[in-house]
Amino acid sequence: MKYSIIPGILEKDWPVIEMKIQQVLPFAKAIHIDLIDGKFAPNTTFLDPAPFKKYTQDIPFELHMMVDEPINFLKPWADAGFRRFIGHIEKMSDQVEFVAKAQLLGEVGLGVDQGSEIDAIEVPLSDLDVLLFMTVKAGFSNQEFVEKNLEKIKKAREKSFVSIEVDGGINDQTILRAKESGADRFVATSFIFKGTPQEQYKKLQETLLH
C-alpha cells in the first residue's frame, strides 16, 4: 500500500496560510486546507478561495469542508484550482448529489466526524476517491488523538479498498496506529508546523517505514 502524508492548514488569516503553503511547497506532494464556516463547528477559518489561485497550479490542493451544505462550496473552490473535495456527511442533506457534483470537478471524498459511524454513509464506498475519518472532534487544530476512532477505520478497511485518510492528532506516534488500522493517507496539521516543517514531515515518513 502506498502511504501519503499531507500537511494540513487550519487558519483564519491569509498571510499565515500563505506562509505555511510556502514552507511546505518544497517537499509536500499535496496540501490539505480546512474550511470551517462557524455552523459546522464553533470556529471559522479563512473562507475566500481566490488567493489560492496563486499556488494551485504548483501543487494539488484538497479542500476539507467542515461546513453546512458543502455542495455549495464546490464550484468557487474548483474555480480556484482545487481538485479534491471532502465534504462532511453531518451537514450534508444529499450525499448522492454531493458526490455526483464533486466527481465532475475532480476527486471526491466524504468526511466522518468523531460522533458519526460508517453506517451513516449513503453512497457506495467504491464511488469515492477517499474516505476521511476524524480522530478528534472536527473544528480545531492541536487536539489529542482519540484512539476509539480507529475502530471505524478498521471497519471501513474490511469493507473496501478505498483510500482512507485520517485527520486529527497525527504525530510520530499516532500515525503508526492509524496505519495499522488500515489508513493510507495522514493529515498532519499542528505537528508539521510545531518545528521545522520539512524535518517534522521526515519524522512522519520515517515512522511509516518501520
The predicted-structure confidence for 126-154, as pLDDT tens digits, reads as follows 999 999 999 876 545 555 666 778 999 99
Which of 3.10.310.70, 3.40.50.300, 3.20.20.70, 3.40.50.2300 would CATH assign to domain 4-209? 3.20.20.70
Kindly tell me if the per-residue pLDDT of 108 is higher than 70: yes
What's the mean pLDDT when you consider all of the chain? 93
10 Å CB burial of residue 174 (0-12, 13-18, 19+) is: buried
153-209, pLDDT tens digit by residue?
999 999 999 999 999 899 999 999 999 999 999 999 999 999 999 999 999 999 998
DSSP for the chain, please give it.
---EEEEEE--S-HHHHHHHHHHHTTT-S-EEEEEEBSSSSS-B-----GGGGGTTTTS-EEEEEESSSGGGGHHHHHHTT--EEEEEGGG-S-HHHHHHHHHTTSEEEEEE-TT--GGG--S-GGG-SEEEEESS-TT-SS----GGGHHHHHHHHHH--SEEEEESS--TTHHHHHHHHT--EEEESHHHHTS-HHHHHHHHHHHHH-
CA atoms within 13 A on the CB side of 113: 17
pLDDT score recorded for residue 139: 47
21-71, pLDDT tens digit by residue?
999 999 999 999 999 988 887 788 999 999 999 999 999 999 999 999 999
Cα gap 210→200, rounded to integer Å: 16
Q: Where are the domains of the chain?
A: 4-209
Cα gap 129→107, rounded to integer Å: 6
